[in-house]
Amino acid sequence: MTLTKRELEIAKLREKEKQTFKVIGKHFGISASRASRIYHLVQRKRRTAKRQALLLPENQVILSFSLSRGEAIVLDKLLSATLEGHLDYHLQIESHKLDPDYLCAAKLQKRLSALLQPFGTE
């Protein structure tokens, strides 16, 4: 994935500095609408790159390893907290259902919770 210098700067201004599209547009001499379109294009490029990385053959290899029940509980709690934080951020921009990291973590958390359910982890 290649992002232009301008795309990177727009994403930085929006995400890290919490600038409005109007302010970003003024900074670049473009309309707020154009700044918004560029930012959403960056988001789309990032999602596409993440999806492509998840589909690489080396990332499709099934890993087999052991976890203690306690480790599984901690991992389940970490995934839940991560998903909640991720969801809070993505609800602001209404894109969590498109984010490959969120979808992968949600799938893993569901599988882990189903495995832990017979043990009564709560």
pLDDT along the chain (122 residues), means of 10: 94 94 97 96 92 86 80 81 68 62 78 72 48
- Among the listed residues 83, 68, 84, 64, the one whose alpha carbon sits nearest the alpha carbon of residue 121: 68
The CA–CA distances, whole Å, from 81 to 3, 56, 74, 88 equal 30, 27, 11, 11
Taking the model in full, what pTM does it have?
A: 0.62
Given this model, what pLDDT does residue 80 score? Answer: 81
Given this model, what pLDDT does residue 71 score? Answer: 81
Domain limits of the chain?
1-62, 65-122
The CA–CA distances, whole Å, from 16 to 10, 38, 58, 74, 75 equal 10, 16, 32, 30, 28
Given this model, what pLDDT does residue 91 score? Answer: 55
Given this model, what pLDDT does residue 72 score? Answer: 81
Given this model, what pLDDT does residue 90 score? Answer: 54
C-beta separation of 13 from 58 below 8 A: no
C-beta separation of 15 from 63 below 8 A: no
Given this model, what pLDDT does residue 121 score? Answer: 47
